[in-house]
Structure 1
Amino acid sequence: MPGKRPEAGHEEAEAGEDGAEEGLGGLTLEELQQGQEAALALEDMMALSAQTLVHSEVDQLYQEVRPLGQGRFGRVLLVTHRQKGTALALKRLPKMSTSLRGFLYEFCVGLSLGTHPAIVTAYGIGIESADSYSFLTEPVLHGDLISFIQPKVGLLQPASAQCCAVQLASALEHIHGQGLVYRDLKPENVLVCDAACRRVKLADFGHTRPRGTLLRLTGAPIPYTAPELCAPTPLPEGLPIQPSLDAWALGVLVFCLLTGYFPWDQPLAEADPFYEDFLAWRASGQPQDRPQPWFGLAPAADALLWGLLDPHPRKRSPVGSVEAYLGQPWRWPEGKTEGLEEAGN
């Protein structure tokens, strides 16, 4: 519920890589073709990368300095090259929980995204050891975004929230331009480049998929789950994914940056009173219906979040809409909550 600090796992399961017919789940022929081209390009890159893997034990090539991160499927370590002394980040995935194909997929998605300033730069070095697969990226040394989100306060400086949001929006736009959907936006996957949290980079592309890939929800929804994934899907195999899933997740993350809390536990009106209150506020547009978790947000934040958190995916604002609200206050000064101008109907 709101009041818990942001933390969440991943709740979607892949049902198939094949696209849908035109119009299925709102997918147009052009969108379907973009996703198929991205899938084919990744398959080609994976085939080439499989032939160029370095076969060696990691500690023969690199000296471990310290851990940088730990996830469900692997560890990220700060290492130095034993001969050159170069500092690098190494993501290590155990073979017992990672297939060669799964490793190659994540490795190649990172490579395919190039050198966007808000995406962790992947280097073209994949390593197969006796018990693990590894790949190298640039090191980002200030941890992830979760440690900068403070309950009731948000980030230390309100301007930092805007800096983070616009960089993440740009990164997601870049991913979408490659025919891909990120699908795993959360503070734990946003790495921080400086102590003031003014520069961030998106990492971890294991859940990224081509547009149109069919997905279905397994298990309970989490706050970042878009409501269309909670509804009955057009096919038993799942919903063809769209960039609008990332827009919803970005809206939830921006809310967390500004307040320190999730806006709701799950986007199901019948199961979550906080989400039900949000829908009622959207329907009325009246100040007296503003839910308590939204107190303190300024009109620009209301408008931005109403767009990103539209329950209808085709009406939802794209991630790039963040830019239109930069330079405006997103929070009122402490104690000022009256006289708020409501977001549009």
Structure 2
Amino acid sequence: MDPNNGSVVDDMLQEMMEITAQNLITIEVDDHYKFIKQLGKGKYGQVTLVIHRQKGTPMALKLLPKTLTKRQNFLYEYCVALSLSSHPNIIGMFGIAFESTEHYGFLYEVALQKDLISIIKPTEGVPEAIAKVCTKQLVSALEFIHSRGLVYRDVKPENVLLFGPNCQRIKLTDFGLTRPKGTLLKLVSGVIPYTAPELSNTQNGEAVPIDFTLDAWAFGVLLFCLLTGFFPWEKTLSSDPFFDDFIVWQETGSEEQLAWHWKKLTSEAMDMLKNLMALNPLNRSPVSKALWYLDYPWRVDNWK
């Protein structure tokens, strides 16, 4: 079985979804779980800290309104997360999925230490040692996802949950955008810093087959944020002057026009990011290439 074969992955997930659908319980959430506080809210759902009324177990509850969520999409996100949850750097699942009158829902372990974005200081980032600890764990998680033939598609600090001080344990969460490698996708929302340029240029409606290189690009952007406290650009379009300067650097090797916050980085760190964020996805290095740079300094001032 080839883990890179998208059709095989689809078949496995389809079977999991069918079994989950057959065993989906119907409950009213308040009968079983006590709401404590909201942990996060997105366009299509919310995550809440709850306590199981009988067992007293704290849990994170993700609720997706039925008015905004297709049943198949809910089953897909839950089954992807469940299939990946054995990895130590991916959120653990309780194996509980249900529907209520108004919502679909599932439960996973709660991160009381918040997320990675909460410790990134604007204009500073995080200490280099913490950036490297995060790098090792994120590479491990992303490689595991890729080994299953899946592209995560949502690498960003908000989706990296903290389980301990100084990022000793971090875990990826939120698999609503994860799809099998080779899936044809169009750019469905606006261009953001994490959007790889090959997707940014599909605004006229054509679809492109997705690849692990999408995650490598977003991982490079995340590392830049950790090391500098800035996004490298707002949009991966040539109309963004910061991204346009990056294109010049990639194509000519000239660093003269790069924005000043790149000057915080050592030549090794810049080489790492240049490889992870190669403009041509065929030339982009896998996420594991970042491990090669761990023994080199990443920041010129070596702030610790």
TM-score by length of 1: 0.83
Q: Which runs of 5+ in 2 are unaligned?
A: none
How far the C-alpha of 1:283 sits from its partner, in A, is: 3.2
How far the C-alpha of 1:81 sits from its partner, in A, is: 1.5
How far the C-alpha of 1:232 sits from its partner, in A, is: 5.0
How do 1:165-204 residues align onto structure 2 when only pairs under 5 Å count?
A: 165-204=135-174
Calculate the aligned-residue CA RMSD, in Å. Answer: 2.1
SS of the residue aligned with 1:196?
Answer: helix
SS of the residue aligned with 1:44?
Answer: helix
Tell whether the 8 Å contact from 2:187 to 2:202 is kept in structure 1 after alignment. Answer: no
2:214 paired residue number: 245
Q: Which runs of 5+ in 1 are unaligned?
A: 1-29, 336-345
d(CA) in 1 for partners of 2:207 and 2:6?
A: 16
SS of the residue aligned with 1:314?
Answer: helix
| One of 44, 57, 61 as aligned partner of 2:32 | 61
| One of 299, 302, 307 as aligned partner of 2:267 | 299
The 1:98/1:287 distance shift into structure 2, 3 A limit, reads closer
Greater shift in the superposed pair: 143-152 or 48-57: 143-152
2:131 paired residue number: 161
1:99 paired residue number: 70
| One of 90, 112, 122 as aligned partner of 1:151 | 122
Are 1:308 and 2:276 matched, yes or no? yes
The 1:125/1:304 distance shift into structure 2, 3 A limit, reads same
d(CA) in 2 for partners of 1:99 and 1:304?
A: 40
The 1:68/1:164 distance shift into structure 2, 3 A limit, reads same
How far the C-alpha of 1:215 sits from its partner, in A, is: 0.6
The 1:277/1:212 distance shift into structure 2, 3 A limit, reads same
Q: Cα deviations across residues 19-63 of structure 1 (Å, max 9, x unaligned)?
A: xxxxxxxxxxx9896111111111110000001112111111112
d(CA) in 2 for partners of 1:154 and 1:33?
A: 35
d(CA) in 1 for partners of 2:91 and 2:212?
A: 20
How far the C-alpha of 1:82 sits from its partner, in A, is: 1.3
Greater shift in the superposed pair: 290-299 or 136-145: 290-299
Tell whether the 8 Å contact from 2:3 to 2:147 is kept in structure 1 after alignment. Answer: no
Q: Cα deviations across residues 59-106 of structure 1 (Å, max 9, x unaligned)?
A: 111122222222221111222221111222111111111121111111
Taking only the aligned residue pairs, the percentage that are identical comes to 49
| One of 250, 265, 275 as aligned partner of 2:234 | 265
The 1:50/1:287 distance shift into structure 2, 3 A limit, reads closer
TM-score by length of 2: 0.93
d(CA) in 2 for partners of 1:268 and 1:180?
A: 26
Amino acid in structure 2 at the alignment position of 1:44 = E
Tell whether the 8 Å contact from 1:152 to 1:261 is kept in structure 2 after alignment. Answer: yes
d(CA) in 2 for partners of 1:54 and 1:242?
A: 35
1:285 paired residue number: 253
Higher relative contact order (CA 8 A, sep 6+): 1
d(CA) in 2 for partners of 1:264 and 1:204?
A: 24
Tell whether the 8 Å contact from 1:304 to 1:325 is kept in structure 2 after alignment. Answer: yes
Tell whether the 8 Å contact from 2:89 to 2:170 is kept in structure 1 after alignment. Answer: yes
The 1:313/1:32 distance shift into structure 2, 3 A limit, reads farther
Amino acid in structure 1 at the alignment position of 2:149 = G
Amino acid in structure 1 at the alignment position of 2:260 = Q
Are 1:332 and 2:300 matched, yes or no? yes
Are 1:227 and 2:165 matched, yes or no? no
